């Protein structure tokens, strides 16, 4: 390697200084910093003052004073933010029985090890298959495992979350059947109901709700509401109350009218329950958060849609297919691209512009690591401990009657609705003082009472935690 001479170094430094001077002399973007500049801008926009420029912003959003503190050093700022962070108590410092769509489950260290690799962590949409084979294969394997566990023929490369998946499945069913009436069970996740209301309103779809009785779908009510205009009936199995639906009976009623059956499923539960395909479901949707993704304040999540082969051209989002390149080698590519970025907007099956590929990768790694036996073991632990806790809580008696009782006596998986003699909010406040989160307050949700909470048990709840919970409840009502 040849070294530069002193003269060459001096010439190089001189060139750098010249280039810096040139950059400094370049004109900056135009800013109206003088009265004449502002007047010219106002004349061009045909307004008289800055108020005219800002009139589209409500006055209450403009007339306020920023209460900014005095400047601090980096050390002081870090200490202040640490103090704010310490106000929050993480789940590993509490005993949590909360669920209802977001679950605290064990995540093997291999999950974070794989998804934190730069190749996955920084990757964007795999538009160019020639440089995206790794990402495309990961998504393809995710789709494959979703199909394996649901029994369906095809699955998409994920959507934003489970609630979004429900709505996209509803729109998908309407396109398939050419009908515009949608039936939804009242006992699915209330957030999914709210999203469906918004989309159905915007799409001019007729939306009706089927009541539930004893925690499960009221079949007689379903028979009255379903007709030859119904595109689909949406259920959840297990449902929001934790109960297991009689899907086989429901699918016969739905298919008799020519409608499709959409089911929101819990992937962990499918390790012990029959698959949606076996039960006659046409479109299976769900949320993959509990498989390798942290609760993380409710996001980001990863929804999925799986369906029978005859509906594959109406599935929204992305599909990754397996093919061969010009040399005959195995290759992966996006296929059946019916998104608005590829065809005319009015003909698109969805306006979803991305997927949750990193979260989907976490689901893939989790399922591949656990395997069928591991998933079944987790499901069995959750089921057994949930039923044990429910039995122990029902044993708590006062002089007058049972203090705690199950709101419904239908079969359940790992969640159940507990009814107590005081408002759920008061009950939760009493236990949270001791860092016990007993469940979700169901007050305000259609079909539930103010003194009911949704209790969830996972493999993260040890027998010691369950015992502590039961003893704490006894003290409250003693």
Q: Mean of the per-residue pLDDT values for the chain?
A: 90
The answer on 228 and 193 residing in a single domain is: yes
d(CA 308, CA 275): 13
40 belongs to a structural domain: no
The answer on 377 and 360 residing in a single domain is: no
The answer on 273 and 173 residing in a single domain is: yes
Are the C-beta atoms of residues 240 and 223 closer than 8 Å to each other? no
The answer on 232 and 119 residing in a single domain is: yes
8 belongs to a structural domain: no
Identify the domain containing residue 232 by its residue range: 109-366
The answer on 329 and 304 residing in a single domain is: yes
d(CA 353, CA 355): 7
The answer on 354 and 379 residing in a single domain is: no
The answer on 426 and 316 residing in a single domain is: no
The answer on 315 and 193 residing in a single domain is: yes
pLDDT score at 335: 87
* Domain boundary pick from 335, 366, 397: 366
260 belongs to a structural domain: yes
pLDDT score at 399: 53
19 belongs to a structural domain: no
**For position 98, which CATH number holds?**
3.90.1150.10
Per the structure block, which two tokens stand in for 368?
């591949």
Of 340, 317, 393, 382, the residue nearest 156 (C-alpha): 317
The answer on 377 and 343 residing in a single domain is: no
Number of domains in the chain: 2
The answer on 411 and 358 residing in a single domain is: no
**For position 229, which CATH number holds?**
3.40.640.10
The answer on 259 and 146 residing in a single domain is: yes
**Dmax (CA) of the chain:** 100
d(CA 128, CA 231): 37
* Domain boundary pick from 366, 395, 429: 366
Single pTM value for the model: 0.83
Can you list the alpha helix ranges (DSSP code H) found in 257-299?
A: none
Indicate whether 16 pLDDT > 60.
no
* Domain boundary pick from 328, 351, 366: 366
pLDDT tens, 44-69?
888 888 888 888 888 888 777 888 88
The answer on 399 and 457 residing in a single domain is: yes
CA angle, residues 324, 328, 334, in degrees to nearest 5: 15
425 belongs to a structural domain: yes
pLDDT tens, 187-221?
999 999 999 999 999 999 999 999 999 999 999 99
452 belongs to a structural domain: yes
pLDDT tens, 406-463?
999 999 999 999 999 999 999 999 999 999 999 999 999 999 999 999 999 999 999 9
Per the structure block, which two tokens stand in for 217?
């779908």
14 belongs to a structural domain: no
279 belongs to a structural domain: yes
């Amino acid at each position: 390697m040849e070294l530069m001479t002193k003269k060459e170094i001096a010439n190089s430094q001189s060139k750098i200084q010249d280039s810096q001077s040139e950059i400094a002399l370049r004109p900056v973007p135009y800013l109206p910093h003088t009265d004449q500049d502002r007047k010219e801008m106002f004349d061009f926009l045909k307004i008289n003052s800055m108020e005219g420029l800002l009139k589209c912003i409500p006055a209450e959003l403009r007339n306020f004073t920023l209460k900014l503190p005095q400047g601090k050093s980096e050390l002081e700022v870090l200490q202040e933010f640490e103090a704010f962070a310490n106000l929050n108590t993480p789940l590993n410092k509490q005993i949590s029985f909360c669920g209802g769509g977001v679950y605290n489950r064990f995540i093997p260290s291999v999950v974070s090890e794989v998804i934190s690799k730069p190749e996955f962590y920084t990757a964007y949409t795999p538009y160019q298959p020639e440089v995206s084979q790794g990402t495309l294969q990961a998504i393809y394997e995710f789709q494959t495992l979703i199909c394996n566990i649901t029994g369906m023929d095809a699955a998409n490369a994920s959507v934003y979350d489970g609630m979004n998946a429900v709505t996209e499945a509803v729109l998908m069913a309407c396109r398939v059947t050419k009908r515009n009436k949608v039936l939804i069970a009242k006992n699915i996740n209330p957030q999914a109901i709210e999203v469906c209301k918004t989309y159905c309103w915007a799409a001019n779809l007729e939306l009706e709700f089927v009541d539930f009785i004893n925690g499960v779908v009221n079949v007689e009510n379903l028979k009255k509401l379903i007709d030859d205009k119904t595109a689909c009936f949406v259920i959840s199995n297990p449902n929001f109350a934790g109960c297991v639906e009689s899907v086989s009976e429901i699918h016969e009623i739905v298919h008799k009218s020519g409608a499709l059956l959409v089911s929101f499923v819990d992937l962990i539960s499918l390790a012990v329950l029959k698959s949606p395909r076996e039960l006659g479901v046409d479109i299976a949707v769900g949320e993959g958060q509990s498989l390798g993704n942290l609760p993380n304040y409710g996001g980001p999540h990863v929804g999925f849609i799986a369906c029978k082969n005859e509906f594959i051209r109406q599935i929204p989002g992305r599909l990754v297919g397996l093919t061969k390149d010009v040399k005959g080698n195995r290759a992966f590519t996006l296929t059946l691209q019916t998104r608005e970025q590829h065809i005319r907007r009015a003909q698109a099956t969805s306006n979803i512009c991305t997927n949750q590929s990193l979260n989907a990768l976490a689901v893939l790694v989790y399922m591949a690591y656990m395997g069928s036996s591991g998933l079944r073991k987790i499901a069995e632990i959750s089921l057994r401990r949930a039923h044990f806790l429910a039995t122990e809580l029902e044993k708590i008696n006062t002089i007058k009657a049972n203090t705690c009782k199950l709101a419904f006596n239908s079969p359940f998986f790992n969640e159940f609705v507990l009814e107590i003699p005081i408002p759920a909010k008061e009950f939760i406040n009493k236990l949270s003082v001791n860092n016990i989160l007993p469940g979700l307050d169901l007050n305000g949700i259609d079909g539930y009472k103010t003194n009911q909470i949704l209790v969830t048990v996972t493999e993260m709840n040890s027998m010691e935690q369950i015992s502590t919970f039961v003893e704490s409840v006894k003290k409250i009502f003693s």
